[in-house]
Amino acid sequence: MKIQFSPEAFDDLLHWVTIGEHRTFRKIHRLITDIQRDPENPGLGKPERLKAPLAGWLSRRITQEDRLVYRIEGDTLLVISARGHY
């Protein structure tokens, strides 16, 4: 499965590395790996389907305040956010 990050999601990843939050960065990596392994099965991070205006997208918990927001299109994992709470 390919992974595609929006510019905002890529900036979010850089943010975690820049401020030295390597633990959070590793958690994001684990979430993405879990999604790639079995996208249909709920796994880490308490997956949740989002409602309008983000209908069709899912989120998984990174930290208490931050979520990974993504969707799967074909064989591509699209990530639009890795910081904040949608």
Residue 55 located in a structural domain: yes
Residue 86 located in a structural domain: no
Number of domains in the chain: 1
CATH of the domain at 22: 3.30.2310.20
2-15 pLDDT, tens digit per residue, is 999 999 999 999 99
- Looking at residue 85, its pLDDT comes to 84
Annotated catalytic residue 85: yes
Catalytic residue among 21, 29, 48, 73: 48
Report CA Rg, the chain: 12
Annotated catalytic residue 22: no
Query: Which domain range does residue 53 map to?
Result: 2-81
Residue 67 located in a structural domain: yes
What's the whole-model pTM score? 0.93
CA gap 29, 55 in Å, rounded: 24
